[in-house]
Amino acid sequence: MILCITHSKDFYNIDIFFEYLASKDIPYFRLNSDRMNHLQKISVNENSFELTDESGNTVHSKDIKAVWHRKAWGITVPEELDEDYKKIFLSAYANLRYNLITLLEDIPWINPFENERKVDGSKMLQLKMAEESNLIIPKTIFSNDEQKIIAFFQEFCNGKAVAKLHSLTGKTMDGENLISTMIIQENTLEHIADITYCPMIFQPYIDKEYELRIVYIAGEFFTGKINNSQNVDWRVAHGNYTWSAYELPENVRAGLASMMEKMGLYIGAIDMIRGKDGEYYFLEVNPQGEWGMLQKELGFPIAERIADNLIKRINIHE
């Protein structure tokens, strides 16, 4: 059995994944991470766990041979819960979830949980590993220090920078809003003092030819070029863009493969920019990043490749 850790609103990507497993007579279990709460019955001991989900389906850890960590969401708190008890509720269930996950760490994962958590939690580590892998990265500062940010802007940004949160606060495939990258110019710096309440990442603005969303799966690349006439962040372009398949240069592929191996990741959704100067700039990798649009629009067999990788590693593991 393959366990898929996802969330209750997930669709399309996961449906294709399950259909592919079913075609190969491989059992699977869908675990909605946001409902790992009072809606599920969960029991964990030192060697195993048993979980019955919100629909009454039961899984035992001994039957799970591999895990696809598709997209974990925060645990949902019941509305009727007293406000003073919500932090205790979330802490208790987060601990229960983590204890359950660690019991599975010796079987194949996409991605290994601790590797993914480390990479996803540090964009600065990502940039360091990208640079070590001979990829070009923008100058970057992650700070809450007004003076340091102004100095960075004046030294590296030539009058224009981008600012972004370390993690986006929205989601893509379900239509929720996202906070996009913000443009910072000289007059914007007059209002930068509030940065002390919300540290952000700052980089020089790159005059781009186009953006690339690259899905890496264990040495394979599925790359979409964003044809976006508005030249704004594709996540908030409201559909005013199209995708076309794109072939990365060999040196970029080699650099990305080296970086992903350093990170210990089998899969990741990578964002890069092709600058008008002809260079390819690495921005970030999201281990749980969205790729359904590439499968849908370009016919890339991404869900199938994820399943194939897990099946292959199960066979090797056994």
Looking at every residue in the chain, the average pLDDT score rounds to 92
Structure tokens at 230: 């508005």
Q: Which residue has the tokens 């039961």?
A: 58
Q: What is the mean pLDDT of residues 291-309?
A: 97
Q: How far apart are CA 33 and CA 13, in angstroms?
A: 16
End-to-end CA distance of the chain: 13
Structural contact between residues 262 and 116, judged by C-beta atoms closer than 8 angstroms: no
pLDDT tens digits along 218-269: 999 999 999 874 555 555 555 568 999 999 999 999 999 999 999 999 999 9
Q: Is 99 in contact with 219 (CB distance < 8 Å)? A: no
Give the chain's domains with CATH numbers: 2-107 (no CATH), 112-138+206-298 (3.30.470.20), 139-204 (3.30.1490)
Render pLDDT for 100-147 as a digit per residue (tens, 0 to 9): 999 999 999 999 999 999 999 999 999 999 999 999 999 999 999 999
206 Rama class: left (phi>0) / alpha (psi -120 to 50) / beta: beta
